[in-house]
Amino acid sequence: MEVKVFKDKKEASLFAFNYFSDVLKKNNKAVFGLATGSTPLDLYENLCNSDLDFSNATSINLDEYYGLSSDNEQSYHYFMNENLFKKKPFSKSYLPNGEEKDVEKELNRYNEIIKNNPIDLQILGIGNNGHIGFNEPSSPFDSKTRLVDLTPSTIDANKRFFNSIDEVPKKAISMGIGSILESKQILLLAFGKNKKEAIKNTVKGPMDVSVPASALQQHKNTIVILDEDAASLL
Ligand code: PGA
């Protein structure tokens, strides 16, 4: 894995934007793996303000809360519509369906989508505990899409978006680490001091399921894009 450190989030996001643009310019039918959270927001804003055309491209999101309807303002469907798809529609955009009662059917559907649309460029954020997507510590490195229990630290980190901690969903459907590793190229973005431990463990620590993002050490084409704060323990 290659590590690039930028002065701040804005410069780092600009690098990610240029990388993203190049992938689309080379192949307007590219498949993009997309992430939610605060980390990719500047990247998405740059994409929205660009003249790029995604109408032939495909997107596949990493995860969705289980039990939230897609029009709930905290759902990742809502987040993606508001922050990217409204301005930049893709030919096809896939997210897990957090309302499907038949979980097994939904997991199979999503795994088929990933198999049929190999991801050219995967965008990742990272949790304070090292999670990627909702692959929490101890997730197997060969995992496929599955229903996961969110850890107390993730529920706590996400409570800022809800009225109370009781409203934060406790489960999510997440693409597995095995599927993430099959992406041709990966950009992992991390900004701010609260990510510095997770980044140190990801880049310098042993490859271990206790730090899900450390699985990326075995991926040939991953760039870790950091601001100075997130890189401060490297
Ligand atoms: P954040 O979340 O971008 O809001 O920090 C990242 C994550 O939990 O994966």
- Alpha carbon distances (Å) from 13 to 41, 57, 134: 9, 21, 22
Q: How far apart are CA 41 and CA 124, in angstroms?
A: 12
Q: How far apart are CA 153 and CA 168, in angstroms?
A: 12
- The band of 153, judged by pLDDT with boundaries at 50, 70 and 90, is confident
Token pair 């499907």 in the structure block, residue: 100
Counting ligand 1 atoms within 8 A of each CB, the residue from 39, 199, 224 with the most, and so the one to mutate, is: 39
Percent with pLDDT over 90 in the chain: 95
pLDDT at 168: 92
Counting ligand 1 atoms within 8 A of each CB, the residue from 126, 150, 197 with the most, and so the one to mutate, is: 126
Q: How far apart are CA 63 and CA 134, in angstroms?
A: 7
Percent with pLDDT over 70 in the chain: 100
Q: How far apart are CA 77 and CA 86, in angstroms?
A: 11
Does residue 104 surpass a pLDDT of 90? yes
pLDDT at 157: 87
Is 133's C-beta closer than 6 angstroms to any atom of ligand 1? no
Q: Which atom of ligand 1 is nearest to the CA of 133?
A: 9
144, 172 contact by CB (below 8 A)? no
- The band of 161, judged by pLDDT with boundaries at 50, 70 and 90, is confident
φ/ψ of 58, rounded to 5, equals: -120, 145
pTM over 0.85: yes
Average pLDDT, the chain: 97
DSSP secondary structure letters along 19-34: HHHHHHHH-TT-EEEE
